[in-house]
Structure 1
Amino acid sequence: MNFLTQIDNIALIALLLVSGAALFLPTLSTLISGKGLTPTEATIWINRRKAYVLDLRSVEAFKLGHLPGAKHIISSELATGIEKMRLDRKNPVILVCDSGNHSRKGVAEVQKLGFSEVASLEGGVQGWQAAALPLVK
């Protein structure tokens, strides 16, 4: 009887470890491959992990609509802009542009500033809108 209880406990622990890994692997693969966060993953980072959202688009595009809580930053002044904002380097950073191509290029630059978790929004604002998520004006 005692042996069966131990097997049940081992099975539950194994199930817990496999479930945890399954939840974490998409985020880990995103960070390693640099592909970018899906709108759903970005929403999780924003709501649960207090990620900073930095919009690299033009001022005009930003004013027409941006992700909730996003801060506008000129992409050519990414490093100095981030330094001026005095962001906590413990929090993740999501870079956003129109399609995701431009923001992906800034990921390495932001990582050099000491941010360990930096990702680009896959599909950019267009992908965000395609997922029927709101923009703020």
Structure 2
Amino acid sequence: MNFLTQIDNLALIALLVVSGIALFLPTLSTLISGKGLSPTEATIWINRRKAYVFDLRPEEAFKLGHLPGAKRLSSADLAASLEKMKLNRKHPVVLVCETGSESLKAIGQVRQLGFSEVATLQGGVAAWKAAILPLVK
């Protein structure tokens, strides 16, 4: 009976560990691979974690409406622009474009500058609008 109890306990511990990993994996993959944040997650990063928000869209699109607190940067000059700003590298960064694809390509550049937490707004400004979140004009 003792042996069976030990097997049951080991099975429960293994189940607990696997469940914990499964719950943490989406967050970990976002941080490691830089995949997108949902509009809700981006809002949490912006409001609670004081994330920097950089909009990589053309100036005309930026003027039509952008995320609150976002700064427009050209994706071609992204690294140089960020270097000039002398930002705190400990703050997270959210990159934004129209659909999320252009900002996904820029994650590597931002990480090379020493920002450890970099993510994109999954679906871009289009997803932000679809979630009926405010844009600043």
Q: TM-score, normalised by structure 2?
A: 0.81
Aligned residues: 121
Identity %: 71
- Alignment partners' CA distance in 2, 1:136 and 1:23: 34
Aligned to 2:62: 62
Task: Name the SS of the counterpart of 1:66 in structure 2.
Answer: coil
Q: Can you list the C-alpha shifts for 1:15-68, whole angstroms capped at 9, x where unaligned?
A: xxxxx9787553322122332111111001001100000000000000000000
Following superposition, which runs of at least 4 residues in structure 1 exceed 6 angstroms of deviation? 20-23
- Alignment partners' CA distance in 1, 2:67 and 2:133: 9
> How has the CA–CA distance of structure 1 residues 131 and 22 changed in structure 2, closer, same or farther, with 3 Å as cutoff?
farther
> How has the CA–CA distance of structure 1 residues 48 and 24 changed in structure 2, closer, same or farther, with 3 Å as cutoff?
farther
Aligned to 2:123: 123
- Alignment partners' CA distance in 2, 1:23 and 1:46: 23
Query: What's the C-alpha RMSD, in Å, of the aligned pairs?
Result: 2.0
Q: Which structure 1 segments of 5+ residues have no match?
A: 1-19
- Alignment partners' CA distance in 1, 2:66 and 2:98: 10
> How has the CA–CA distance of structure 1 residues 21 and 46 changed in structure 2, closer, same or farther, with 3 Å as cutoff?
farther
Task: Name the SS of the counterpart of 2:135 in structure 1.
Answer: coil
Aligned to 2:80: 80
Q: Which structure 2 segments of 5+ residues have no match?
A: 1-19
- Alignment partners' CA distance in 2, 1:114 and 1:88: 10
Q: Which structure: larger Rg? A: 2
Q: Is structure 2 residue 115 aligned with structure 1 residue 102? A: no
